[in-house]
Structure 1
Amino acid sequence: MKRILLTLAVLLGTAFFVPQNVVLADGTIGSANANSSVIGKNNKSSLKTDTTKQTNSLSNDGSPANQSESTIRDKLGETTGSPDMNWVTSNILANYKMYHEDGSITDFALGASHIVTDLFTAINLNIVYPLFDQSLSTMFDLTNITNGVNNILTDVGQYTKSSWQSQAFKDLLYLAFGIGLVWVFAKTINHGGGLKSILTVLVVAIIGTAWVGSGSKVLQTINTLTSQAQTQVFTATSNINQTSFSDTGDSFQNALRYVYFQKAVARPFALGNFGQADVASAYQNKDKQGNPYRLIGGNVDDKVIASFASKNHYISKDGGLEWYQSAIAFMSPVMSVAYGVPLLMIGLANLLVQLGAVLLYYLAPFT
């Protein structure tokens, strides 16, 4: 019995004092006891580094945003003067909503106001604004529209000339001209003034021939000039950087969409969350109410909301402005329609005029 106890004591002593071989992280075999201090130091250093990185990555507002402030301002054209509305629509449009701090489950009035706010904000951001934005993007894609209409005019011009020169059409033309002369002769006998009627028929024939021959080029020139004039109208009536209206290409289209975006999306966002007329004014007051670009950047969790609510009574559950947010959200779809319809009508009117010119020229040989 004593031998058994002695043997156990020796084994225990060996376990405590003899270094154990272990496979280290690099694949080599080493002593666990000899490296314990090193591993401990490495673990502490790694933990400290991870903690430092996490601390640096977390701002005072909570989790880091998906999009940085500088990127957002560049894409909005605030620093470059050339907004990229396709990027804005794809990356940050959904972040232009009403933010609010949640209350207790028994605060039914607060919960009801938040439901109303979220509902009408979603209607504006997901239905009304995208509909008008896409329509404006199509209607004011003036480069493609102008070139497309000009191509149609060229094709119609070739068709008109070939029709005019065809034998069948010549026979109809001669028949019509003969009938016109007979009508003029009959009118001369009954009412006089035959010379004036004859001259009228000749003038119509000459002008008609000239129109069929060169009307395509004339309409193409007018079409291009009207598109350029349209950009000048917006240059004179808009406060956006006029360099964006320098041509009829993507810069004009993006500038126009940016104007609509500021009215239909950015304005309700600034009013509801900061009580300011625009994001620029809210940004100037960022030290008191919070940086609006932090919300626009996305990845807004409860910690971010709490950091804003602590100094922004528009977002705070105790600010008493939850129904104010609801009113702004309720009016946002209405105002988006009010701002979008006139712009859309301008683009639609221009397109209808261009299509009317095509139709007129197409019917010219028959009229």
Structure 2
Amino acid sequence: MTFFLIAGEPSGDSLGAALMAGLRELSPGVRFLGVGGPLMQAEGLKSLFPMQELSLMGVAEVLPKAPQLLRRVRETAQAVLAANPAALISIDSPDFCLRVAKKVKAAKPNLRTIHYVAPSVWAWRPGRAVKMARVIDHVLALLPFEPPYMTAAGMTCDFVGHPVVAEPLASPAERAAWDGSRPLVLALPGSRRGEITRLSPRFGAALGLVALDMPGLRVALPTLASVEPLVREITADWPVQPQIVTDPAARRGAFAAADVALAASGTVSLQLAANGVPMVIGYDMNPISMWLARRLVKSGTVTLVNLVSDTRAVPELLGRDCTPEALAQTLRATLADPQSQRAAMDLTMTRLGRGGEPPGLRAARSVLNHL
């Protein structure tokens, strides 16, 4: 049995790798083709082209690359049709993946299409689910409240759990490497180049203001190896020099030992919750993208911990509110009351499937049951 998988960014690469491992466990001899990053490649995928070409976000970031992306859509759809797999499994990155699925369905209507990560129709653009149902048969949802939205649009859908609940936590030795008497702050300005470039100066300035009240403040900045050179360059003038971390063990230790985190919006909020780290979310985008987002987002919050726990426990400073002064003030308040987010973080992990079957295996079972 052959599956064609497409992932467009690091989080999708991680989901895809766990799904591949689950499929191999349940269906020995399965083969994989498609587009993916290093984790999926380690599971046996030979990527058609570098996954990083798809790691773009926001209107202003995507438009200059549109011709190249459309060419990759055509190439990928042709590769799917040539392979004639048991199913096309697209993972997040809907702008790219659903274009591929549309071309595939037009040529082979009976080829099964599965999308991993439901679109956030509960937050904005509810019509996307109906549009997606034209080219997608089955959805693997990360959040427990998503399946009704997908089935109402005409697709089948299973909640398979969020991968954050299966991620390993730090060992005592990994945590001990970060223990100390001075407060430790995690700085997490995103994984995309645009995010890092836009948020890092504000995060650095905010941490400098906090350090005025807390001499000796320590800052750890876990990041991806692919953007480490950019991170080192852009943080060189931070008032508090961060310890930049790319090693997974060191990252786990930093998350376990941290007193608070200043983070971009995204999945990282769930990783912080899994480690019990109170957080402040700061985020901004290109002005055009931010203008659109403010008019389209319906949920009232962009932080996943808030959404899953149905609270507003995690403070978030977005757009014009994402200033060094505001970030610093909110960080100080969070450090002064670190337990204020505890209940919301625990509830989030329970609702996402902590203690159950690993999400990658649940997702693989859902795929095979659907077929």
Q: TM-score, normalised by structure 2?
A: 0.22
Task: Pick the structure with greater CA Rg.
Answer: 1
**TM-score, with structure 1 as normaliser:** 0.22
Q: Which has the higher strand share?
A: 2
Could you say which structure has the greater relative contact order, defined with CA pairs below 8 angstroms and 6 or more residues apart?
Answer: 1
Pick the structure with more helix per residue: 1
